[in-house]
Amino acid sequence: MNEDRNCQWRVARRPDGNVVAEDFQYTEEDIPRPGDGEFLLKTYYINLAPVMRMYMSGIAAAGETPLAIGDVIHGRAVAEVIASKHPDYEVGDYVQGQCGWQTYKVSRGTKQEKFRKLPDIGCSYSVALGSLGMTGFSAYFGLIDCGRPKKGDVVVVSGAAGGVGTHVVQIAKLLGCRVIGIAGGAAKCQLIKSLGCDVAIDYKDGDIAEHIEAACPDGIDLYFDNVGGETLQVCLENLAMHSRIVLCGSISEYLLDEPFGLTNYTRLRRTNSTMQGFFIYNHSDDFDRAERDMAAWLKSGRLRPAEHIFDGFENLPAALASLYDGSNHGIALVRIRRGPYDNRQQENR
């Protein structure tokens, strides 16, 4: 990475299957200068998410515009304001928002970029891509506002070792629930147990229906669904009275040739249960509340971000590819530079 230039990753071609090096184009240009009403951002961390392959495929997703060949790839980032001619942004402010895969950006602070200033809570600003960003907020609003957990509820979380899932597990435990996490493989199951899961189910080991029935003999009060498909179908067969299903993601369905058909949705009837979807930006009026609560939990040590950090701007393409092989856990992000409170030596935790 050249510190004196704006380094960028662009779409070279549409991916076919998982992303490979040839799908990306590396470019450099002069660091842009802010005009009136603009400010200049210097990037510290860039978020990694499965949806990025959809961006590269030219699909409009997660509220972002479709990308053409040659465009800088979309990516939410943590960045510092290093020059400003904008009344609302001062030099030294840190923000999270849409910066794209580049090391500098000039912005007018548009609604589409969704910039949000970061509070200083005494820990690495990478948390703005996890607990204090859209990933953590998805866990917060999905679980609390949509799922309405009560103390003692039996909460099942799929994709429990992922960015959203690791937060849902911990928040549900904070709220006094009994938490059953579902993840793939022994290492991920160990991770989610260390985060507080009462039971960790390895969906690659045996029959998931039997595991769920054994873990929830009195039924499920709240199912936080990150995967869709068969796991959702199994949970629908095991609902307690007045249970809630929260639809957050359906990663198990993305690679199917035929759309998945949910045949047992009528199971919601006998138990007066609800299935609710949510989109994180529908909750933007309440982001301050989530930030306040999550920050307090972080400071007290009751919430521990599970981060999977890749180092170096040049490694963005390979880091994205690794998301699709199932080995990733927690919040995946690429560190471009060390920011405040970022003294961590160990990588890939």
Binding site for its own copies (CB under 8 A): 146, 228, 241, 247-248, 250, 259-279, 282
For the chain, the C-alpha Rg in angstroms (whole number) is 20
Q: Which tokens go with 12?
A: 């070279």
Mind giving me the DSSP string for 64-88?
PPPPPTTPBPP-EEEEEEEEE-STT
Q: Quick one: 175 or 247, whose CB is closer to its own copies?
A: 247
Nearest to 68 by CA among 130, 146, 6, 13: 13
User: Least distance from C-beta 229 to its own copies, angstroms?
Assistant: 11
| Minimum distance, C-beta of residue 101 to its own copies, in the bound complex (Å) | 26
Nearer to its own copies, 149 or 305 (CB): 149
Query: What is the C-alpha to C-alpha distance for residues 205 and 305, in angstroms, rounded to an integer?
Result: 27
User: CB of residue 227 vs its own copies: minimum separation in angstroms?
Assistant: 12
> Of 26 and 278, which has the nearer Cβ to its own copies?
278
- Residue 35, phi then psi, degrees to nearest 5: -90, -170
In order of 17, 220, 247, the CA distances from 239 in angstroms are 36, 5, 15
Instruction: Tell the smallest beta-carbon distance from residue 278 to its own copies (Å).
Output: 5
| CA-CA-CA-CA torsion sign (85, 87, 88, 92) | positive
Residue type, 257: D
Nearer to its own copies, 65 or 282 (CB): 282
Rounded Cα–Cα distance for residues 166 and 183 (Å): 10
Q: Which is nearer to its own copies, 98 or 271 (CB)?
A: 271
Q: Which is nearer to its own copies, 266 or 345 (CB)?
A: 266
State the nearest-atom distance from the C-beta of 54 to its own copies, in Å.
14
Pairing of strands 239-247, 5-11: unpaired
Sign of CA dihedral 191, 228, 279, 154: negative
**The two structure tokens encoding residue 1:** 């990475």
Tell me how far, at minimum, the Cβ of 248 lies from its own copies, in Å: 8
